[in-house]
Structure 1
Amino acid sequence: MGRPADRHGSDARCGPTRADRRHAGRGPPEKAAVSLFVKICGVTRPDAVEAAVEAGADAIGFNFHPPSPRFLSPQRATALAGPVPGHVQRVAVMLRPQQAEWDEVLEGFRPDSLQADADCLAELRLPEDVGRLPVYRDHERFDTDNFSIEIPCLFESAVSGKGRPPSWERAALLARRARVMLAGGLDPENVGEAVRRVRPWGVDVSSGVESSAGVKDPRRVRAFIRAAREADLA
């Protein structure tokens, strides 16, 4: 199966951003030239941000869903994101936000893109320079045959942040049709197998690299990125 090449390009979001300009001019999707996109989600401390950046993460997720142990205020997210270099995407992670909730986040934190459930995300008004990362949730009747989307998307289980994996078989079918970021139940020990079996456009991890709920272990962050990269090159 061909590997998508434009993992960071301008069609990955609704408007050009720092990462878009840096990666402009990549070849068409069928030319396998660029490595797996890796996102470390739900950071809460500077050491996790530092580990993700140093290990080569492509994106870092900042969680704005209040019940989550990874929840951040916009002000705290801005402070954590301060050292993040321009080539690493800063993703605002929300579940099913209302417009007012999203606007409140936007007042204090300016992300490169917003991640939220696809149907909800489609109804939100976003600035032109903020991209969209729609989330699709796995279920037994998911229509893999007719799935189609032009921008990258995230595929995970029905519940976020609980370490539960979606069906890798369905994920593999979707990955043949779209730029799918696989999420849910991944960790340094199984991400290699997931990449080899699903061949996703990208991978996303949160609880799988934590020492306790909401606390990332920098060693596991580095191990996850290393294992994902090695499997992608295999």
Structure 2
Amino acid sequence: MRVKICGITTVGDARAAIAAGADAVGVVMNSSSPRSVTPDQARRVFAAVSPFVTTVAVTSTDREEDLASILACRPDAVQVGGGLDLPHDAAVRVLRVLRPGDALRDDCDAVIVDGSHGTGRAFDHAYAKKCVATSSVPVILAGGLTCGNVGEAIRTVRPYAVDVSSGVETAPGRKDDRLMRAFVKICRTTDL
């Protein structure tokens, strides 16, 4: 199972996420989240990530002008809500966030089923399973995932990947090395 650890705010946490086995690290930008970082902080985090780990700029902005500063950080992918479109020449993968009840999208490289947005609120099982069964693009599961529930979530929903933020933190934006390692280990050892 592939794992994205999101809400990374420091180079140290990025390195710890990679050491734990994360396939992708997410940095929140242009957001009211306590995990939101400046473009300079995002560039430092992305520079610390190995070339075999995907970097994701996560934003809740609906302002096209914010995209220039996000794209200037040179992430591998940009995670956006349903209403924002990236320029066709952006040369990044697009991950679209869907909330329960949203129609599936195929104008992206993957969808993230998440009604939580870093608040730790649990995902909607029925909606997530429906998305996995009918989506033409990979489905990433997020929302309230922890070491205590991710194994069952993987077995019942069968997503392409899982995305965790608050479930591996001691405080918003402060990742816990032990929790990140345990989370990734559970994901890797859960039988589908």
Normalization by structure 2: what TM-score? 0.91
Contact 1:47/1:218, CA 8 A, preserved across alignment? no
Mapping of residues 190-205 of structure 1, within 5 Å: 190-205=149-164
* Aligned residue among 179, 187, 190 for 1:220: 179
Q: 1:173 to 1:66 in 2, by over 3 A?
A: closer
Task: Please list the CA deviations of residues 7-53 of structure 1 after superposition, one character each: whole Å capped at 9, or x if unmatched.
Answer: xxxxxxxxxxxxxxxxxxxxxxxxxxxxx221000101233211211
* Aligned residue among 88, 93, 96 for 2:53: 88
- Indicate the residue corresponding to 1:155 in structure 2: 113
Q: Distance in 2 between matches of 1:128 and 1:47?
A: 28
Q: 1:127 to 1:213 in 2, by over 3 A?
A: same
* Aligned residue among 20, 28, 31 for 1:63: 28
Given the alignment of the two structures, is residue 73 of structure 1 paired with residue 38 of structure 2, yes or no? Answer: yes
Given the alignment of the two structures, is residue 188 of structure 1 paired with residue 188 of structure 2, yes or no? Answer: no
Task: Provide structure 1 residue ranges, at least 5 long, that are not aligned to the other structure.
Answer: 1-35
* SS of alignment partner, residue 211 of structure 1: strand
Q: 1:126 to 1:56 in 2, by over 3 A?
A: farther
- Indicate the residue corresponding to 2:75 in structure 1: 111
Give, as a single letter, the amino acid of the residue that structure 2 aligns with 1:203.
V
* Aligned residue among 163, 167, 171 for 2:124: 167
Given the alignment of the two structures, is residue 38 of structure 1 paired with residue 38 of structure 2, yes or no? Answer: no
- Indicate the residue corresponding to 1:24 in structure 2: none
Q: Tell me the CA shift for residue 67 of structure 1.
A: 1.5
* SS of alignment partner, residue 69 of structure 1: coil
Contact 1:48/1:221, CA 8 A, preserved across alignment? no
Give, as a single letter, the amino acid of the residue that structure 1 aligns with 2:160.
W
Q: 1:128 to 1:102 in 2, by over 3 A?
A: closer
Task: Provide structure 2 residue ranges, at least 5 long, that are not aligned to the other structure.
Answer: none
* SS of alignment partner, residue 48 of structure 2: coil
Q: Distance in 1 between matches of 2:97 and 2:60?
A: 9
Normalization by structure 1: what TM-score? 0.75
Number of aligned positions between the proteins = 189
* Aligned residue among 161, 165, 173 for 1:206: 165
Q: Distance in 2 between matches of 1:151 and 1:213?
A: 28
Give, as a single letter, the amino acid of the residue that structure 2 aligns with 1:199.
R
Give, as a single letter, the amino acid of the residue that structure 2 aligns with 1:155.
V
Task: Please list the CA deviations of residues 141-161 of structure 1 after superposition, one character each: whole Å capped at 9, or x if unmatched.
Answer: x55xxx46373110011x411
Q: Tell me the CA shift for residue 126 of structure 1.
A: 5.2
Q: Distance in 2 between matches of 1:67 and 1:92?
A: 14
Contact 2:93/2:109, CA 8 A, preserved across alignment? no
Mapping of residues 13-28 of structure 1, within 5 Å: none
* Aligned residue among 94, 99, 102 for 1:132: 94
Q: Distance in 1 between matches of 2:178 and 2:83?
A: 36
Give, as a single letter, the amino acid of the residue that structure 1 aligns with 2:92.
V
* SS of alignment partner, residue 105 of structure 1: helix
